Chain A
Amino acid sequence: MGKTQTRILETAAFFNNHDTVPGFRKLMDLAMDTQDMSVYRAAIELTDWSEQHQEVAPFIQKCRQLLDTISRISITEDEAPAPVVVAEEIRKSYGKGAFALGPVSLTLRKGAVYGLVGENGNGKTTLLRILAHDLSCSSGKLAFNFRHKTGAAYDLRTKLVYIPQRTQRWHGSLKDNLKFVLSSYGIPAEENETRVLMMIARLGLWKYRHLKWTELSSGYKMRFELARTLLRKPELLLLDEPLANLDIVAQQVILEDLKSIANSVNNPIALILSSQQLYEVEKVSDRVIFLRNGKPVETQPAADVPAGAAELIVEIDCSSPREALQAALEALPLDRLNYNGGVYIACFKPGAVFLQVLEALGKSHCRIIYIRDISSSTRRLFMA
């Protein structure tokens, strides 16, 4: 069963369970993958209808009809065996005694999301800019492998889409800005409007398409920026702190959108984004790169370490005194208990299991506000 078929079934399941929001999003993803203008127009009509009508049952029925139409269309699935970017021993120095990045080696593949995390000033933006060819590296090799080979350096840069932390203001109509992108990329005139509206619909911007840039919240500005970026059909997308200034819900929506768009069937994208929102980024990323002092730190346990034999690290927010917590964990192979002024970090010796920790704390009288296993999360590296 191909990817497309799997997704069709997943989408149908969402509608069966009346999960219209994720279902509609998946439906739009499938519609986009068809590259069929009639499907686009149907999807746009459906979006417009849903904005004006709140009834769920007719909406689900219309969605199923569209899904049925999509399932009859053959979608070309992109099989990209070679990675899009291969960086070998990239180093960047800003001078003697100043910050230095590297050596960094990484491989980015299409369809995967890479999270780039680290404390401030550790080289996240530098690495992103180097990958985007916006900054030169002092040494190392950087190789790109796109679907269509590029000759001139400028043509290469058109394929490396980098969205910085602070984006510039848009002038004029939002739709015109988006249409300008497509016409610059040579999209035929008769498809331009449809593709733009389709992207607007896909990213949930239908209600805001007639507004001015200054009337948008920062979350929707980021989404429009994303829409403009995705219209360029990038094969590599580099985002610098896209979640900054967004509320929790907006962050979640953006990340889910990014994940699903990166996993597009016929236009998968290699996506790398830097962020301070560790939990959210780790949820969507296939791999997380942690930078400390400009060097990547391995975030996953070594391959030869069996599961369960790795060190257990637990983050605990507890309002009880330290002694009480210590006493509750006494029976477990606790290696050290650190307090960073906000939360406790309990490091256990190999062999400890998180369930045992939950059980021990549950039986004790400690008032636990928050607990999380951060053994495989980069959060542990921040706390170390």
Chain B
Amino acid sequence: MKNRIQRVNQYFLERYPLLWNTRVYWVLICCILVHGCFYLLGYNTFRNTELFKGYNAPELFIENGALLFSIIVSILILVVWLLVLFRNNAFKNFYPTRKRQLYGSFFIYFLVFLVATTFYISYIAGYKQFVKQQYPVSWLKAKREQANLAAAFLPFSLEAYTINNKRYPAPFDTLYCETDERKIDFSKPYLTRDKDEYQFYTIERKVIRQGDAAVADSDEREIRRTPLNDSLLTVYYKKMVADVSGLASTIPSFYNYSLQNFGGDGAGYPYEEAPAYNENRNSRGMNRIVYDLLQRNRPDEIKKLMTGFLEFSRKFKISTNLTADKWFELMYHPADFKVTYFISNSSVEGLSLNQQHTDVTAATVTTTAVAAADEAGTDPYYSEHKIKYCFDAYDLSRLFTGIERVLEFSVFDMIVYIAIWIAFVLASILFAFRITNLRLLLFAGITAAVIGILIALVTLVLGLANGRQGEKTIAYLVFVVGTMILLGSVPLFRFRRKSIQGILINITLVGIVPYFLLILLIITLHQRDYYDTLYVSGYSGPQDTILEVLGVYWNYVLLALGFLFMMVYTPVIRRWRAQPER
């Protein structure tokens, strides 16, 4: 093994001295192996499905220490690599170093830093692949639909089963239900249940200009207004009372259920079905599905749904004390499918803790107090039908959310760009160190810090940081200073000492990409001002600034510019190195 390593090293030493000096071939092989290990570790992470229920499942790599471990491994690899790299420096010893070799060394530094500091990305890729294979989007969609349907028969609260939730069949799909007793016209047909009233209305709508919105405020028939586009609003009004007394009863019924309890189609939990005035027909599906299921009235179908749902829940350790048989027995009242039971949205442990607390409270509370509590808010129908069963729907929701977020999570949202820029900055610093020396690099850092502080001082003292104009002033101030540093690093002025020029070169190498970003920002500021003046004169076309147009691709643009600059800058570096000291 040692001989083989020696032979490989000798091969590169004799033919590719730059590759040998950087040992990039070993670093890449080693990093690929480590990437593979992290990938496998990540792949096996979500075998424990409880992890999906965490607060931020996709960013588990931070919480479970994978990121920290990745950083430790990166540091170890990079330290060893740097120790080997620093053994030889052809450029400093004035060995023939062509421009492309100098540039090549920078590129190799970038590649090594990128590969050696992104193990956590392989970890993420591993668990994403696992989740994609085990819980693909189609599976998640199907399970969600199953859960949403089964959730219709998990009555946690009365409010989901009252008639105002009804959206199907006709005419309920086109009616609005008023529940505010101040707005109910008691002279017209309405329905009651206990202390609640329900009055149904047909709907009319009007489209108005945004500017005329205030005029429409006075109409008390208005239900809601939604933007149609940038300049128009749709306003919905109650038109006429509709008499539905013969079509449905106010007894809480499964027929009224219209929640998507576990979200889906991009909706979070819980997502209530859109009202009639929402013309998005897609969101008016849940009530219909439940209605159709109940209308088919096939006990085996309902039981199968419940059994499947409970099996799935058990597999993912969702706490419940329901069994399929008991549940079906509670739910199945085919005459009107009214809701005759309410369960707790909690785990079994939570239920028993709650129960203990309730028992203690009940033992000490008088009848008067109970009546007072009833009066305060608890519906007597609910209290009467509450039973000691539970299902942890929150946990299931967290599971779905977690899986969905892991599937949707992408390192290309932000993480990969952070990794690229970290690698670029480190490569620039290392490159600066390799072509100059530690002393000049440190002085460059100190000089840059001092310049930054001076700019901040000037800004504060002259009061430049005020409003939009202040932004531009500061940006231009920094731009001018940056340009002076850039021009100063180019050997146009022979009176300068070599060390001073070296400091300017170091600042340029590390600061060139922020300089390009500053140019983009200045352009953006000007564009914003320009669009503002156009808007005042009535322009309503696109107002995208250059940064908005580029979107996330500004990272790639700046990276390309950075590499291009390094390539163009190598003659400056060579000339500086050859320059005699004063």
Contacts and interface: CB of A to CB of B under 8 A. Distances in A.
A binds B: yes
B22 to A, nearest CB: 12
A367 interface: no
B96 A185 contact: yes
B574 A154 contact: yes
B224 interface: no
A158 interface: yes
Contact of B581 (A134, A157, A186): A134
| Interface size range on B against A | 20 to 34
B17 A136 contact: no
Contact of B13 (A129, A152, A160, A180): A180
B94 A180 contact: no
Contacts of A232: 95
B88 A171 contact: yes
Interface string A173-187: 000110111011110
B272 to A, nearest CB: 70
Contact of B578 (A154, A180, A189): A154
Interface in A211-232: 232
Contacts of B10: 179
A180 B579 contact: no
A180 B575 contact: no
Nearest to A133: B580
B503 to A, nearest CB: 18
Contact of B96 (A134, A136, A158, A172): A158
A180 B96 contact: no
B296 interface: no
Q: How large is the interface on A (under 10, 10 to 19, 20 to 34, 35 or more residues)?
A: 20 to 34
Contact of B94 (A154, A171, A177, A186): A154
Interface in A130-188: 130, 133-136, 152-158, 160, 171-172, 176-177, 179-181, 183-186
Nearest to A187: B14
B82 interface: no
Contact of A152 (B21, B86, B575, B581): B575
Contact of A179 (B14, B90, B578): B14
B20 interface: yes
B581 A135 contact: yes
A185 B93 CA distance: 12
A185 B15 CA distance: 11
B20 A180 contact: yes
Interface string B19-41: 01100000000000000000000
In this complex, the member of B20, B96, B571, B574 whose beta carbon has the largest number of chain A beta carbons within 10 angstroms is: B96
B182 interface: no
B97 interface: yes
A373 interface: no
Contacts of A153: 574-575, 578-579
Contacts of B571: 152
B582 interface: yes
B14 A186 contact: no
Interface string B83-110: 0001110100011110000000000000
Nearest to B9: A176
Interface string B541-582: 000000000000000000000000000000100110111111
A193 interface: yes
B92 to A, nearest CB: 10
Contacts of A155: 96
Given A179-B13, A183-B15, A133 B582 contact: no
Contacts of A183: 13-17, 20
A287 B86 CA distance: 40
A181 B90 CA distance: 8
A251 interface: no
Nearest to B83: A171
A350 to B, nearest CB: 45
Contacts of B575: 152-154
A181 B582 contact: no
A224 to B, nearest CB: 14
A179 B11 CA distance: 11
Given A154-B94, A154-B577, A158-B94, A180 B88 contact: yes
A372 B257 CA distance: 121
A192 interface: yes
A152 B574 contact: yes
A129 B97 CA distance: 22
B582 A184 contact: no
A136 B87 contact: no
A177 B577 CA distance: 22
Nearest to A182: B14
Contact of B14 (A129, A154, A156, A193): A193
B97 A184 contact: yes
Contacts of B581: 134-136
B17 to A, nearest CB: 4
Contacts of A133: 578, 580
Nearest to A183: B17
B579 A185 contact: no
A136 B580 contact: yes
A41 B482 CA distance: 57
Contacts of A179: 10, 13-14
Contacts of A160: 94
Contacts of B582: 136
Contacts of A186: 96
Interface string A21-56: 000000000000000000000000000000000000
A184 B90 contact: yes
A134 B86 CA distance: 23
A177 to B, nearest CB: 7
B14 A192 contact: yes
B279 to A, nearest CB: 72
Contacts of B87: 171-172
Best-surrounded residue of A134, A184, A193 (most CB of chain B within 10 A): A184
Contacts of A193: 14
A157 B97 contact: no
User: Which of A154, A172, A192 has the most CB atoms of chain B within a 10 A radius of its CB?
Assistant: A154
A158 B582 CA distance: 20
A134 B582 CA distance: 9
A160 B96 CA distance: 12
A80 to B, nearest CB: 21
A176 B580 contact: no
A180 B580 contact: no
Contacts of A156: 578
Contacts of B11: 189
Interface string A105-144: 0000000000000000000000001100111100000000
B88 A157 contact: no
Contacts of A152: 571, 574-575, 578
Contacts of B95: 158, 181, 184-185, 232
User: What 10 pairs between A and B have smallest CB-CB spacing?
Assistant: A171-B87, A153-B578, A189-B14, A184-B95, A154-B574, A136-B580, A183-B17, A154-B578, A192-B14, A157-B578
11 contacts: A133-B580, A134-B580, A154-B97, A155-B96, A157-B578, A158-B96, A171-B88, A179-B10, A180-B13, A181-B95, A232-B95
Given A152-B578, A183-B17, 16 more contacts: A129-B580, A136-B580, A152-B574, A153-B574, A154-B575, A154-B578, A155-B96, A157-B577, A171-B87, A172-B87, A172-B88, A176-B9, A176-B13, A179-B13, A185-B95, A186-B96
